[in-house]
Amino acid sequence: MPPKKFKSVTITEEMYNRLKEYMDEINSEYGYKKYRSIAQLVEDAIDYYIRNMRKRH
């Protein structure tokens, strides 16, 4: 069970591994942990997507 005020989302292991690899690349480029978790990366990606899609409509 996730903590209060949180929901869980299930993704494939393949997608998780792709996200982890991408997160490691970004963190390496920045020289620090820009993303501390897959959850943070996914939240930022979804937020970015929603903001850009709203501009198009």
35 lies in some domain: yes
Which H or E run contains 14? helix 13-30
pLDDT band at 1 (very low <50, low <70, confident <90, very high): confident
Where is pLDDT greater, at 21 or 56?
21
Counted domains in the chain: 1
41 lies in some domain: yes
CA torsion sign for 21, 27, 33, 38 is negative
**In terms of residue numbers, what domain contains 28?**
13-56
2 lies in some domain: no
7 lies in some domain: no
Burial-class residue 54 by CB neighbours within 10 Å (0-12, 13-18, 19+): exposed
Residue among 21, 57, 55 at smallest CA distance from 41: 21
pLDDT in tens, 4-46: 999 999 999 999 999 999 999 999 999 999 999 999 999 999 9
8 lies in some domain: no
22 lies in some domain: yes
